[in-house]
Amino acid sequence: MKKDFRTPLARVGGLGSAKSGTGHFWWQRMTAVANVPLVIAFVVILVSLFGRNQAAVQQILGTPLVAVIMLLFIGSITYHMRLGMQIVIEDYVHGEIARPFLIMTNTFFTIAVALAAAYAILKLSFGV
């Protein structure tokens, strides 16, 4: 019999039972920090669009700086949403078939939302 003299904390090593939780945790925190200025910029852009006609809105949203800010906002928000929903699914869905299916559906849904929003911004930006 092998005797282990390490403490329980040393055995865990900060990785948890799944051995990969810290990376997920840090990505969720990093996207949350990135979302603060991006959401503020999004709200400022959105407020500046009130009361303008469609041509003016298309012109503002089509400028390169606004388009890049909106694309960063879309990417960060959807990735953060995917990470958060994955945690909810892993914590509260207990079926062996339902959990992987819902995680996969969550990923496909967030990709679809991100692509649709990015397509709209790129279409406005390039005027296609």
Structure tokens at 35: 């979302």
Taking 70 as the threshold, does the pLDDT of residue 26 lie above it? Answer: yes
Domains of the chain listed by start with CATH number: 27-126 (1.20.1300)
Structure confidence at residue 14 (pLDDT): 53
Q: Which residue has the tokens 């840090």?
A: 26
CA distances from 117 to 5, 53, 120 (A): 54, 21, 5
pLDDT digits (tens, 9 = 90+) for 80-92: 999 999 999 999 9
Q: How far is CA 101 from the centre of its chain?
A: 19
Query: Is the separation of the CB atoms in 121 and 78 below 8 Å?
Result: no
Q: What pTM was estimated for this model as a whole?
A: 0.80
Average the pLDDT over 116-120 and give the result: 96
Query: Is the separation of the CB atoms in 38 and 77 below 8 Å?
Result: yes
